[in-house]
Amino acid sequence: TSCKCLFFSFLLSVKTSCDGRKNGAQCFGVLGGAVDVQLMDSVSEIYKFEWKRNNSVILIWRNNTVVTPKDDRIPFFPSNGSVRINDLRRNDSREYKIEMFDRNGKNTGWKTLQLFVQGNQVFLF
């Protein structure tokens, strides 16, 4: 019914945010919505990082540029060190890992976070 559709399109705009600066962070998103994840305080002192979902690279940043925007659904905002996942799907519920590197390619640290994408029913309380 149209009522259901209106309700659904309202849910589509749900945006959540989470602080992924701490290792082991837990993040929550809503199916069809978006989540903003703060990955770092400032990207300016990070030469290179890779962001992976279940071990496959979804974003590479190197020398002040996004090198692989493989997925338009996942923009990175250098101005505040956060990444957004739009149009959340159930299978985005995964572990994500950021690995940082210096200009010599040396790994300088990593952090993981867990994303949970929840269905609409969470809003029917």
**Contact 50/60 with Cβ under 8 angstroms?**
yes
Q: Are strands 107-118 and 56-62 parallel, antiparallel or unpaired?
A: unpaired
Q: Say how far apart CA 15 and CA 30 lie, in whole Å.
A: 8
Considering CB under 6 A, how many residues would be counted as binding ligand NAG?
Answer: 13
For residues 37 and 27, give the distance between their C-alpha atoms in angstroms, rounded to a whole number: 8
Among 55, 72, 106, 121, binds ligand NAG (CB under 6 A): 55
Task: Work out whether 89 is an interface residue with ligand NAG (CB under 6 A).
Answer: yes
Binding range to ligand NAG, per CB under 6 A, among 27-35, 75-83, 107-115, 116-124: 75-83
Q: Under the rule (CB under 6 A), what is the footprint of ligand NAG?
A: 17, 36, 38, 54-55, 63, 77, 79-80, 82, 89, 91, 103
